[in-house]
Structure 1
Amino acid sequence: MRWRASDGRVLHGWLGGDPDGPLVAVLHGCPDTRHVAMGGDAAARAVGVRLLCVSRPGYGASTPHASTHASVADDLALVAGELGHERFAVLGMSVGGGYAIACAARHPDRVVALGLVATQPPGRRTESVTALMGELAPEFLAWRASVGPDDPDDEALAARWLTMLPPSDAALVAYAGPAAVAASVREALADPSGYLRDAALLVRAWEHGPAEVRCPVRAWFGEDDDRSGVGAAADLLAGFADVEVVVRPGTSHLATLVAHWPEVLSTFV
């Protein structure tokens, strides 16, 4: 699906789950897209929530843009309103957590609950986003070339992608089939600006923090997650007035969400 931002940009997303349920808006990780929410469709229908994910600028068909946590939050609030949801919950996966926090902070009268899954805390770099994107570009572009997102062979592309994931995460992602995995990878990596802007914003101080969040917060982490452990996020989590933290034993990064969609979504009903 596609919507238009207030300045005319294309916002490319996916909408599923129970059309009559309360809205849960997913802020995807990095590099990732609306495809992550598709895996939660059946769980959303069973639990009774409507599930939305809008790919950030530079991902999929969302127009590349000098986006910030704030602009992404406002884009999401606009789409939620167009769908008829004055009030909604936000669920940030990994890097998407910073955007979810911004949405809850900027729209306190509309965001009723905040979920954070394997969220990475902000960094302390002070350079401009543009400078950081330039610094990160060579390594990222070399890695992107090793993935080969332009390869038309779904099975080959999916196989390369899956070898880059922890075995438990790879098994969960592979369940969707090579065509779906390849489509997700192509949308995530077609335009390098999506990843580079996400990465640059992550390592800087964020515009909005926990002290500005009024709604209840639930956070989930995987015990075996070597990218976003609960220890690294302890200071971030301590800043929320109302937070409950769950650490899942023997669980890796993506599995913290992908293997537990029903449990995560049921907290928003």
Structure 2
Amino acid sequence: MTLARPFNDRGSLHRSSVQQSIIDEYLTPRAFEVPMPGGQTVRAYEVGPPDVPLVMGIHGTPSTGIGHIVNYVLGAPLFCRLVAFDRQGYGGSTPHPGRKVRDIVPVVEAILDHLSAEKASVYGHSGGGMLALATAALLPNRTVRVACLAGNGPNFGAGGFDYADGPSPLMREEIIQARKGPQETREFYRRLAGMNADDIEEQLYSENDRRINRLLAPLREKITQLLLPVSPFSEEDAYVDDVQSWVSPWGFDLGKIVAPTRIFYGLDDLQVARQHCQWLRTQIQNAESEEFPYLGHNFNQLMPHVFAWLVRDQCS
């Protein structure tokens, strides 16, 4: 005699099927290419429901847009849709030698046009923070809100602000060498690449950051393999362009930002000194800031909160 399957087992099977359907529909990211002038392309990634507010994420240095996709999948904030991309020279995006901070704006605009999206909220993490601010300053009619997460201030600033004050010795050396020119930046990158990975992590990440890095490593690797083929471009070259852009004029006025702005900072950050975020807040009209104990340079755990703030004006 065959026993009927208990009701709660059938319910479990149904829930499992529904859960898998939601994952397939909303949490499986897709990659796409965006054409740029001169035959260049930008590789972008999208995840989340199509009928919710749009958020665009800008990654730091050196990295790709995959990290932002990992954070979304981890937190599953289905109240927003995330688009991230590889910046010029990273991952699958064509290099743009000699680019400046403001040169991120045509990329953001091209992606919005490609998606037929009029507006988005924008955030940037670490070296992407200044790029999100550039977007808000130079695309005011297309930026709903902007967030800067653990972002650097400029290498130049009012009131005696010094970019090189405060961060870890390794980050201080990075900026001091960058002031000398691109070759010194290249040599610094090569020294960094030759260091023991554990030693680098200890100097750049808090203990909690390191725990989170280890926890997310398998998910990051899986999504990277799914979405990003081996990059044909030199990360070293992209890094040199990035760091040299930091020590050059950014090409926009922070005071021109009119979108609601929030500066997020982890008090255990070993890479960006607290004064960077404090200084940025004073330069942007009506900017707010949030500081978090126990958080370092990584914001993985905080991203649902950041996303919720970014889409606040877009939710009915």
TM-score bracket, shorter-length normalisation: 0.7 to 0.9
Cα distance between partner residues in 1 of 2:297 and 2:146 = 19
| In structure 1, C-alpha distance between the alignment counterparts of 2:183 and 2:140, rounded to whole Å | 34
Q: Give matches, 1:47-66, under 5 Å.
A: 47-66=78-97
**1:186-207 superposed Cα distances (whole Å, 9 cap, x missing partner):** 7699521111111111123311
Q: What RMSD, in angstroms, separates the aligned Cα atoms of the two structures?
A: 2.9
Distance 1:173 1:181, change over 3 A: farther
1:80 and 2:112 aligned? yes
Q: 1:229: how far off? A: 3.2
In structure 2, which of residues 216, 220, 225 is the aligned counterpart of residue 176 of structure 1?
A: 216
Task: Provide the C-alpha distance between the structure 2 equivalents of 1:174 and 1:32, rounded to a whole number of angstroms.
Answer: 17
Q: Which one has a bigger Cα radius of gyration?
A: 2
Residues 92-111 of structure 1: CA distance to partner in whole angstroms, max 9, x if unpaired? 11111111111111111111
Structure with greater proportional helix content: 2
Cα distance in 2 for residues equivalent to 1:82 and 1:57: 17
Distance in structure 1 (CA, Å) of the matches to 2:74 and 2:44: 18
1:141 to 183, 190, 194: 190
Corresponding residue to 2:248 among 182, 186, 204: 204
Secondary structure of 2:243's match?
helix
Task: Name the counterpart of 2:160.
Answer: none
Matched with 1:116 is: 148
Q: 1:98 aligns with which of 98, 109, 130?
A: 130
Q: Secondary structure at the match of 1:52?
A: strand
1:24-78 CA-to-partner distances (Å, cap 9, x unmatched) read 1111111111122112223674341111111111111111112222221211111
Number of matched residues?
254
The whole-number CA distance in structure 2 between the counterparts of 1:132 and 1:187 is 26
**What are the residue-to-residue correspondences of 1:149-160 with 2, within 5 Å?**
none
The CA deviation string for residues 90-139 of structure 1, in whole angstroms up to 9 with x for no partner, is 101111111111111111111111101011101039xxx99722221112
**Aligned AA (2:34):** W
Separation of aligned partners in 1, 2:207 and 2:279: 30
Whether the 8 Å CA contact 1:44–1:265 is kept in 2: the answer is: no
Distance 2:182 2:71 in 1: 31
Which of 183, 201, 207 is the equivalent residue of 1:167? 207
Q: Quick one: distance in 1 between partners of 2:283 and 2:248?
A: 18
Q: Is the 8 A contact 2:205 2:297 kept in 1?
A: no
Task: For structure 1, list consecutive stretches of 5 or more residues without a partner in the other structure.
Answer: 148-156
Instruction: Show structure 2 runs of 5+ residues with no match.
Output: 1-30, 157-162, 164-177, 312-316
Q: Which has the higher mean CA deviation after the structures are superposed, 111-120 or 17-26?
A: 17-26
Does 2:276 match 1:227? Answer: no
Q: Which residue of the partner structure matches residue 57 of structure 2?
A: 26
Deviations 1:221-240 (A, max 9, x none): 01111222332332221011
